[in-house]
Amino acid sequence: MPDPLYNWLTSRGAGVLLHPTSLPGDTGIGALGHWARRFVDFLADVGMKYWQVCPLGPTGYGDSPYQCFSAFAGNPYLIDLDDLKNEGLLAEPDLEPLRALPTGYVDFGAQWEVRWTILQKAFAKFLEIAKGQTQDAFRQFQEINADWLESYALFMAVKGQFGHRSWLEWPRPYRKYRTLIKRADMTEAGLAHAFYQFKFFQQWAALKSYANQRGISIFGDIPIFVAMDSADVWRHPSLFQMDTELRPTGVAGVPPDYFAADGQLWGNPLYAWKRHEMDDYAWWCARLRKSFELYDVIRIDHFRGFDEYCRIPPDAENAREYTWEPGPGRKLFEAVRRRFPNAKLVAEDLGIITDSVRGLMQEVGLPGMKVLQFAFEGATEYLPHSTIPYSVLYPGTHDNDTSWGWFRSQPDHVKTFLSEYLSTDAKDVPWELIRAGYASTSRIFIAPLQDFLGLGSEGRMNTPGQAVGNWRWRFTPEQLDRVWAERGDQLRMFARLYQR
């Protein structure tokens, strides 16, 4: 067998899975300002090494960070508006509509209705007062990121012009990308979207620097697929399985499995892998280059799709009808290695994994994932004593119920097995699983913040196959302060005892 391309995971550490939208704050959604830094302080103080997030792209229908308008852009919802106020781009009355929103969950509909108007005010003020170095920084950002920013800004501007409908529903002349407007002549609507990206990446860079200085690595996540309604597909249709009328000839998903009896019909366009191979996977490498600006470690979602992917008819109502098609395999990762020899990548290898997928993972040399909930349901290779060191272990991920929610729904034999295995009376299941994870052989252990807070199903982030009502959960400052005060010493002890 060839030598693995990567073998980077050599030390132990622990961390927390928390998407930034779940942070506290008084503008209706988590942001990249004070509370993000406060969360970093918590991680550093209790001996953590990782903050894992979901994808950070701009979300559309369903609010899923796995269905974004761009694989390169950041989510303007995460821009900290109080920071813009401190820069003189907004005034307190501008923020009052958002101050009135709930603090316990994200109302994405209200964000859509209100936030864009506020961001537009900030952009107008920026045009009015920006001078010298500030203007130069914005121009430099546009120049450095022109390869994706121009098409994304134009895409969002045209989308707004046509009532935010999918580009597949735009008038025919607009469906085929072309350079309608040169960057120097970009419409104000397009320039506004470029400005939102400028502020997002500026704030994220400051937050990431703060985290790194405190010893915290940002553990990011990129979906294998991109959204059909995205600047990526609109700009590069030849990279995807589309016909001459720019209609998909097949879409992505997964067959029926643990999560969904009808499978999951994601609807993403499928890659034309032969076309990608012709230019040595240039688009994928450009995507990863931008991702490595955001993250220190990257989890690649649905790794199985690189070995073989599930192809579903474009007009299907569910994922029960499908075929398996070959993916790019090792060739893609060889191209990635040539450009990023020190990349820290993790493969999401959950679900039904074949020997062929396992073989590709061994060839490429990426650590995979293990889930304790699955372990106690019967996947005994995920038990703490059985996991291989070169892996990342979780009680559950963003797609699972919380540990309490999961345990309470289990049959008696699963509850009994957990109690016997952990030598516990199951009075504090989340913390019992956290300790077991710290003690496991896996070199990285990461738990959702909801488990540290001891939450039940009310804290669940996402239910696969459910189109609406996901991604809304947020925590409060009081919850963080309480776990910090009551469990901080215990977490420091875990880090010391288990060498994390």
82 is catalytic: no
Among residues 94, 107, 296, 301, which one is catalytic?
A: 301
348 is catalytic: yes
Among residues 221, 307, 348, 349, which one is catalytic?
A: 348
293 is catalytic: no
Among residues 63, 221, 399, 401, which one is catalytic?
A: 399
C-alpha to C-alpha distance for 60 and 250, rounded to whole angstroms: 21
Q: What is the 3-state secondary structure (H, E, C) of the chain?
A: CCCCCCCCCCCCEEEEECCHHHCCCCCCCCCCCHHHHHHHHHHHHCCCCEEECCCCCCECCCCCCCCECCCCCCCHHHCCHHHHHHCCCCCHHHHHHHHCCCCCECCHHHHHHHHHHHHHHHHHHHHHHCCHHHHHHHHHHHHHCHHHHHHHHHHHHHHHHCCCCCHHHCCHHHHCCCCCCCHHHCCHHHHHHHHHHHHHHHHHHHHHHHHHHCCCEEEEEECCCCCCCCHHHHHCHHHECECCCCCECCEEEECCCCCCCCCEEEEEECECHHHHHHCCCHHHHHHHHHHHHHCCEEEECCCHHHHEEEEECCCCCCCCCCEEEECCCHHHHHHHHHHCCCCCEEECCCCCCCHHHHHHHHHHCCCEEEEHHHHHHCCHHHCCCCCCCCEEEECCCCCCCCHHHHHHCCCHHHHHHHHHHHCCCCCCHHHHHHHHHHHCCCCEEEEEHHHHCCCCHHHCCCCCCCCCCCCCECCCHHHHHHHHHHHHHHHHHHHHHCCC
Distances (CA, A) of 44 to 34, 273, 278, 486, 495: 15, 42, 45, 16, 11
Residues forming the active site: 301, 348, 399
